[in-house]
């Protein structure tokens, strides 16, 4: 584990010192080789127990899939950003890759640490490189406003978590996750305020409906790499945090979680309806992320084995699906120089192969078989139905609206009676490789979904 963490951190000096001609090739290859070595972690000799343990870090069946997905996204971010950075000076290209590598290193530490205090530090440390990506490489003047929203929503939400962790340390003289989860409620001295403090940071990060206003702004203003890492990994920090903290708060969760589940399920319908009224392509994909994360919040708060398995599967499925949708939106933007759906009609005539990618991504977003999206949604909807039968009305309505806006995105961007009113450049091999590397894991994981839970 430490070997691969050290290898990941060595991308930083590589990006700073590598010959200009081979900068992107070397860093992409380096990061992809690290990802391939990480795949051996999917072999779990001790089912349901931590393995690969050292003093500060451990892997188990919750942290392993998320760690591998964060490593998988890094080379794809570099590949996706080459056109965006083509006119940048070389020093800014080096700074961009360095920022991505720092973010990758902090994410691996966040997912693998066993100490709550170190988890909080790394959880907050991911904020800095993401903020740099949004505010430095975003293309619109509003990116500073989006960065401010992102910064203050995350900081205000997570400060109570820091106080709660320090309170735990003061009570127990340690903040080890696995040890704290085994303690009795009397020893933990949990109160309603403590429960809210521990979960609020993760609700903001997911984000829960009502605390989600930073997410569409951040996505719309971020460059393609920022959108990919936000959608694929950073939102999953919230779900991972809830899964980790729930065993410590279990006796409180059973009385406190009801309003949050209701809000997340209602938020799924509201954000899905908002998707039908958006004109900006990236904004639609961002709001669909809020809708999908509502399912994950409900599943993690119920905290049954079936719902946790569904939440883990949906986090992986949504991470890759939303990332590929942002990549497709970026390919349209690079050619049409607009994300307004009304102005990007008729791309089927100009880019027929890209229409195939759009169709596959849209079908995966609406959870058609045989994708892991369908498996995840079925597991979560089943566990919610078992918890309360009335939830089937909300989840069924959301599924219907999700199918509607997914087909709306596809039809409005690809179909038209007339071709685009401008000559478009053809697609590149780089773009097809990028989309293939997103969709291969989604197709392959359905053959053995046990790897995710």
* pLDDT, position 252: 66
Q: How far is CA 166 from CA 172, 176, 453, in A?
A: 10, 12, 31
User: Do residues 145 and 218 make contact, with C-beta atoms less than 8 angstroms apart?
Assistant: no
Beta-carbon contacts of 116 under 8 Å, excluding residues fewer than 6 positions away, are 165, 168, 175, 176, 177, 180
Chunked into runs of 10 residues, the chain (453 residues) has average pLDDT values of 87 89 91 91 67 77 91 94 88 93 94 91 93 88 90 91 88 78 63 84 91 90 92 92 83 77 93 91 93 93 91 94 94 86 80 90 90 93 93 94 92 76 78 93 88 78
- Which residue ranges make up each domain of the chain? 1-255, 257-453
Q: How far is CA 209 from CA 217, 265, 286, 289, 298, in A?
A: 15, 9, 13, 11, 12
Beta-carbon contacts of 307 under 8 Å, excluding residues fewer than 6 positions away, are 298, 299, 300, 379, 380, 383, 384
* pLDDT, position 204: 92
CA-CA distance, 18 to 36, in Å (whole number)?
Answer: 22
* pLDDT, position 184: 60
CA-CA distance, 318 to 233, in Å (whole number)?
Answer: 10
Residue 420 phi, psi (nearest 5): -60, 150
User: Do residues 168 and 179 make contact, with C-beta atoms less than 8 angstroms apart?
Assistant: no
CA-CA distance, 286 to 268, in Å (whole number)?
Answer: 13
* pLDDT, position 96: 93
Closest by CA position to 152, among listed 99, 217, 232, 244: 217
Q: Provide the CA 302 distance to its chain's centre, in angstroms.
A: 21
* pLDDT, position 421: 62
CA dihedral 255, 259, 261, 264 (to 10 degrees): -160
* pLDDT, position 386: 93
Reading the block at residue 323, the tokens are: 């990332």
User: Do residues 215 and 207 make contact, with C-beta atoms less than 8 angstroms apart?
Assistant: yes
Residue 337 CB-density burial (10 A; 0-12 exposed, 13-18 middle, 19+ buried): exposed
Closest by CA position to 178, among listed 248, 92, 253, 251: 248
CA-CA distance, 247 to 250, in Å (whole number)?
Answer: 5
CA-CA distance, 289 to 293, in Å (whole number)?
Answer: 6
Predicted TM-score (pTM) of this structure: 0.94
CA-CA distance, 167 to 230, in Å (whole number)?
Answer: 30
CA-CA distance, 79 to 37, in Å (whole number)?
Answer: 20
């Amino acid at each position: 584990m430490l070997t691969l963490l050290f290898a990941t951190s060595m991308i930083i000096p590589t990006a700073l010192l590598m010959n200009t001609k081979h900068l992107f090739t070397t860093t992409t290859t380096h990061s992809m080789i690290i990802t391939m070595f990480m795949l051996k972690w999917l072999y779990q000799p001790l089912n349901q127990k931590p393995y690969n343990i050292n003093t500060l870090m451990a892997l188990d069946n919750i942290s392993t899939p998320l760690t591998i997905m964060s490593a998988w996204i890094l080379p794809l971010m570099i590949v996706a950003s080459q056109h965006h950075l083509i006119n940048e000076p070389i020093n800014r290209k080096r700074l961009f890759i360095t920022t991505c590598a720092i973010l990758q290193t902090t994410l691996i530490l966040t997912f693998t640490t066993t100490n709550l205090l170190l988890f909080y530090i790394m959880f907050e440390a991911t904020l800095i490189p993401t903020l740099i990506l949004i505010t430095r490489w975003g293309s619109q003047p509003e990116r500073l406003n989006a960065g401010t929203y992102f910064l203050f929503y995350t900081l205000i939400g997570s400060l109570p978590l820091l106080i709660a962790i320090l309170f735990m340390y003061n009570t127990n003289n340690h903040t080890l996750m696995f040890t704290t989860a085994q303690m009795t409620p009397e020893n933990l001295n949990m109160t309603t305020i403590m429960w809210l403090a521990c979960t609020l940071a993760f609700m903001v990060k997911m984000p829960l409906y009502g605390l989600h206003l930073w997410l569409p702004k951040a996505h719309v203003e971020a460059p393609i790499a920022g959108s990919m890492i936000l959608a694929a990994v950073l939102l999953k920090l919230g779900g991972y945090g809830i899964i980790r903290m729930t065993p410590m708060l279990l006796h409180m969760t059973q009385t406190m979680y009801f309003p949050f589940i209701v809000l997340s399920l209602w938020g799924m319908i509201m954000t899905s309806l908002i998707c039908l009224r958006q004109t900006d392509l990236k904004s639609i994909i961002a709001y669909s992320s809020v809708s999908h994360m509502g399912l994950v919040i409900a599943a993690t708060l119920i905290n049954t084995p079936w719902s946790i398995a569904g939440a883990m599967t949906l986090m992986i499925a949504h991470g890759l699906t939303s990332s590929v949708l942002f990549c497709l939106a970026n390919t349209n933007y690079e050619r049409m120089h607009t994300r307004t759906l009304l102005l990007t009609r008729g791309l089927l005539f100009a880019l027929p192969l890209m229409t195939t990618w759009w169709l596959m991504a849209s079908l995966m977003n609406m959870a058609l078989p045989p994708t892991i999206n369908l498996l995840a949604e079925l597991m979560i909807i089943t566990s919610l139905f078992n918890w309360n039968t009335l939830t089937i009305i909300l989840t069924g309505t959301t599924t219907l609206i999700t199918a509607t806006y997914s087909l709306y995105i596809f039809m409005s961007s690809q179909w038209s009676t007339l071709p685009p009113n401008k000559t478009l450049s053809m697609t590149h091999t780089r773009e097809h490789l990028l989309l293939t590397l997103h969709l291969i894991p989604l197709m392959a994981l359905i053959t053995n979904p046990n790897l995710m839970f």
